[in-house]
Amino acid sequence: MIELNITGHEVEKLEDPFGLLSGDRYEFFLELEVDEEDELYSEKGVGLKCIFVHDESGDKITSYHLFERGTEKVLDFELEEDEEGLVLSYCINIVENE
């Protein structure tokens, strides 16, 4: 991906009904703005779904996938290391400011 620009999000705190997992888990749906020249570009828009974990061992993204908005079709792309860092920082900022 050429440039990752997060334009919006939805977030939901995931419940652990049995108390088996440490910390808190959140499901994020991020809206991304992608340049028309990027191979990831879609006229319908691109989103990123990720699971963010906030616990005593640190904050991390445990899984993610990119998808085409509207169709929810999973796109076979991975984020670059700096883009993963941007997503992690974004998630941390949202959770800390709730």
pLDDT tens digit sequence for 3-58: 679 999 999 999 988 878 888 999 999 999 988 888 888 889 999 999 999 988 89
Domain assignments of the chain as residue spans, ordered by start: 5-96
Handedness of CA 29, 32, 50, 86 (dihedral sign): negative
State whether residue 10 is helix, strand or coil.
strand
Neighbouring residues of 37: CB distance < 8 A, sequence distance ≥ 6 = 2
Q: For residue 86, what is the DSSP state?
A: H
Assess whether pLDDT exceeds 70 at residue 1.
no
